[in-house]
């Protein structure tokens, strides 16, 4: 496929970024995606600083291709994390969940390509003004944490595109070659794929979680916990308990108490499908198989090219 | 542009259907869209039976091209409405808000092409089993009444497409040629456009409502009133009052009392932007001008063709 501003920015073959996800994307997944011609991202959000350092070092050994690290800026050890990223000479950083003014210039001073994840025009422009190299705009259908505006990929991408001049990566709802082409038609320069890679062979998620993602159908994920921070997850017993608190008009404190501290790890890493938190996007309904990252990238590119040959 | 299963089904030039909207789409809009090569729909939902009959008769005089009527099946005078549609020899009916088994075979017995509007795979398959000729699948970003699954256009269209064999019309978030092409790439055979036509010259909405649609930006619509029936509207003073009741954990009865009987007419037809209900889709953020239906259709087709020439 043709190169885009995103494949050029990262010096990769295909403009496919693997979302940096907590409990899912360690060095194995990131290296596999990068080796397949996309951009792999290590998800720092669920790693202690020393664990992150090990993953970066192993990733460098596992691939000679570009890869990056996703850093949620609300991370408690953010200073230490950033220092490790610079020391280990990571070339690409995706920042999320925070103010792009905080770290962008510091990272760029060290020659790092910086991308910021947003869910609205307002923050896309704020990120551009902060000097980032590209923006990921993520729609309402995306798994995990999500914006309050609830703008969908189909409307957010062209609206951001109208106002942004730096490269734009579409995220939320994209798992196929067809979806990738639709995102590029809407104005994106590349795509970020989360859910499909979360269910890949190299993902560090629990096998039962991966099987659950494959089994999920349309309408079986939900954006909830809006009082704390909106998050999209699979409707399971834990979600039923959240709904019960909602119906009883319980307080945010009660919700936080129910949420507790280890829900996400329990669900995604330990495979507790009943009481764990199972973050995934709506597009899980289109994921029918656990595949290697290489198969996923190759299938997406093949389908993209095939759809381009259809009559429109 | 090439013909699709939808342009063939309705015998129209472009696979662009104008959504049949309450207080917005009388015969003037429907005839203008049909004359421009799309499919215009009279929205029966806000019309008394005799008013509908007059609109159908005027539409037949205003265009020699195919047009249709959208019928929300929860309509109190549904038997009378259906009888008028058959008497007046309307050729195309879109049904919504109800069970497709209720009227499909009766309408088809009279030679009418029947399309049903859904927001999930489940109801798409139910409509297909009921014998409809095509399905409109409408995403979360759409204006007005909306599904409980909250599936977005970007994920809903390919998921429905995987299982449905009859023609598929995508709705929700589509207002441009770029959006139309993206919808077709995702697997649709045609598109239904609501918001942009709601703000057209021929729309019977109040001019102040149309100006408001043009002024709306990303993030300024919201899906609310989920306790009654989910509906997407512009965040105005009326919405602030809804939110207040939500925060106070008021009952569904209190919400229904606030809603009252004439909110929608007040907002969209009478132009009360403060206390009226202003139904519109997220894509309002991409609508920058009040144009004629002809200009809208022509611009969409032109942009569609231009985007097809871009390098992908």
Question: How much is the pLDDT for B76?
Answer: 83
pTM of the model: 0.97
Examine the domain organization and report whether A102 and A227 are in the same domain. no
A121/B218 Cβ within 8 A = yes
Examine the domain organization and report whether B251 and B299 are in the same domain. no
Is residue A312 situated within a structural domain?
no
How distant, in Å, are the alpha carbons of A304, B213, B258, B268 from that of B209? Answer: 40, 6, 21, 6
Q: Please, what is the end-to-end C-alpha distance for chain B in angstroms?
A: 18
Examine the domain organization and report whether A239 and A184 are in the same domain. no
Is residue A311 situated within a structural domain?
no
The Cβ of residue A154 has, within 10 Å, a number of other Cβ atoms equal to: 35
**Residue that wins the pLDDT comparison between A97 and B85:** B85
- Nearest CA to CA, how far is B221 from chain A (Å)? 8
Question: How much is the pLDDT for A76?
Answer: 83
- Nearest CA to CA, how far is B77 from chain A (Å)? 32
Examine the domain organization and report whether B53 and B92 are in the same domain. yes
B156/A154 Cβ within 8 A = no
* A158: its two tokens: 């062209």
B159 vs A120, A139, A286: nearest CB: A286
Q: Kindly tell me if the per-residue pLDDT of A26 is higher than 90.
A: yes
Chain B interface mutation, best of A176, A190, A218, highest count of B Cβ atoms under 10 Å: A218
Examine the domain organization and report whether A66 and A113 are in the same domain. yes
Q: What is the pLDDT of residues A78-93, one digit of tens each?
A: 999 999 999 999 999 9
B67 vs B152: CA distance, rounded Å: 28
Q: What is the mean pLDDT of residues B1-27?
A: 97
Question: How much is the pLDDT for A75?
Answer: 81
Kindly identify which residue of chain B lies nearest to residue A301, measuring between CA atoms: B312
* B217: its two tokens: 């930006």
Examine the domain organization and report whether B233 and B290 are in the same domain. no
Q: Which residues of A touch B285 (CB under 8 A)?
A: 121, 155, 159
Q: What is the pLDDT of residues B123-155, one digit of tens each?
A: 999 999 999 999 999 999 999 999 999 999 999
Greatest alpha-carbon pair distance for chain A in Å reads 55
Examine the domain organization and report whether B162 and B20 are in the same domain. yes
Supply the ipTM of this predicted assembly: 0.97
Domain span at residue A228? Answer: 207-282
Q: Kindly tell me if the per-residue pLDDT of B1 is higher than 90.
A: no
Examine the domain organization and report whether B247 and B290 are in the same domain. no
Examine the domain organization and report whether B196 and B248 are in the same domain. no
Examine the domain organization and report whether B36 and B69 are in the same domain. yes
Examine the domain organization and report whether B106 and B229 are in the same domain. no
**Mean pLDDT of the residues in chain B:** 97
Q: What is the pLDDT of residues B231-283, one digit of tens each?
A: 999 999 999 999 999 999 999 999 999 999 899 999 999 999 999 999 999 99
Nearest CA among A61, A73, A12, A81 for reference residue A40: A12
Chain B interface mutation, best of A3, A8, A155, A283, highest count of B Cβ atoms under 10 Å: A155
Q: Which residues of B touch A186 (CB under 8 A)?
A: 178-179, 182
Q: What is the count of structural domains for chain A?
A: 2
Is residue A186 situated within a structural domain?
yes
Q: What is the DSSP letter of B311?
A: -
Q: Kindly tell me if the per-residue pLDDT of A1 is higher than 90.
A: no
B11 vs A260: CA distance, rounded Å: 58
We report the CATH number of the domain holding residue B295 as 3.20.20.70
Examine the domain organization and report whether B141 and B187 are in the same domain. yes
Kindly identify which residue of chain B lies nearest to residue A312, measuring between CA atoms: B2
Whether A30 contacts A41, CB under 8 Å: yes
B150/A152 Cβ within 8 A = no
Q: What is the pLDDT of residues A230-288, one digit of tens each?
A: 999 999 999 999 999 999 999 999 999 999 989 999 999 999 999 999 999 999 999 99
Q: Kindly tell me if the per-residue pLDDT of B75 is higher than 90.
A: no
A179/B186 Cβ within 8 A = yes
How distant, in Å, are the alpha carbons of A57, A67, A193, A284, B216 from that of A93? Answer: 15, 9, 16, 26, 34
Q: Kindly tell me if the per-residue pLDDT of A200 is higher than 90.
A: yes
Chain A interface mutation, best of B126, B152, B187, highest count of A Cβ atoms under 10 Å: B152
Question: How much is the pLDDT for A145?
Answer: 94
A151/B282 Cβ within 8 A = yes
SS (H, E, C) chain A: CCCCHHHHHHCCCCCEEECCCCCCCCHHHHHHHHHCCCEEEEEHHHCCHHHHHHHHHHHHHHCCCCEEEEEECCCCCHHHHHHHHHHCCCCEEEEECCCCCCCHHHHHHCCCEEEEEECCHHHHHHHHHHCCCEEEEECCCCCEECCCCCCCHHHHHHHHHHHCCCCEEEECCCCCHHHHHHHHHCCCCEEEECHHHHCCCCCCCCHHHHHHHHHCCCCCEEEECCCCCCEEEECCHHHHHHHHHHHCCCCHHHHHHHHCCCHHHHHHHCCCCCCCCCECCHHHHHCCCCCCHHHHHHHHHHHHHHHHCCCC
Q: What is the pLDDT of residues A113-131, one digit of tens each?
A: 999 999 999 999 999 999 9
- Nearest CA to CA, how far is A173 from chain B (Å)? 6
Whether B186 contacts B173, CB under 8 Å: no
């Amino acid at each position: 496929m043709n190169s885009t501003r995103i494949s050029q920015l990262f010096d990769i073959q295909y403009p496919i970024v693997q979302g940096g996800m907590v409990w899912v994307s360690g060095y194995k997944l990131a290296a596999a995606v990068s080796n397949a011609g996309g951009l792999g991202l290590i998800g720092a959000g669920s790693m202690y600083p020393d664990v992150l350092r090990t993953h970066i070092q192993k990733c460098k050994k596992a691939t000679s291709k570009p890869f990056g690290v996703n850093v949620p800026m609300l991370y408690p050890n953010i200073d230490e994390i950033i220092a490790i990223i610079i020391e280990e000479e990571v070339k690409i950083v995706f920042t999320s969940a925070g103010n792009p003014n905080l770290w962008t210039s510091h990272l760029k001073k060290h020659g790092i390509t910086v991308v910021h994840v947003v869910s609205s025009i307002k923050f896309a422009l704020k990120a551009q003004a902060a000097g980032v190299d590209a923006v990921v705009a993520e729609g309402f259908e995306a798994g995990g944490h999500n914006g309050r505006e609830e703008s969908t990929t189909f409307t957010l991408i062209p609206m951001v595109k109208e106002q942004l001049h730096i490269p734009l990566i579409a995220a939320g709802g994209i798992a196929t070659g067809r979806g990738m082409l639709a995102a590029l038609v809407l104005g994106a320069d590349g795509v970020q794929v989360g859910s499909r890679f979360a269910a890949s062979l190299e993902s560090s998620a629990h096998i039962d979680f991966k099987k659950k993602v494959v089994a999920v159908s349309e309408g079986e994920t939900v954006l909830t916990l809006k009082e704390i921070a909106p998050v999209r997850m699979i409707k399971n017993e834990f979600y039923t308990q959240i709904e019960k608190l909602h119906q009883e008009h319980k307080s945010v404190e009660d919700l936080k108490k129910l949420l507790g501290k280890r829900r996400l790890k329990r669900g995604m890493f330990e495979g507790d499908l009943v009481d764990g938190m199972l973050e995934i996007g709506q597009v899980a309904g289109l994921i029918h198989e656990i595949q290697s990252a290489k198969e996923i990238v190759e299938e997406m590119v093949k389908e993209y090219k095939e759809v381009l040959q259809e009559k429109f």
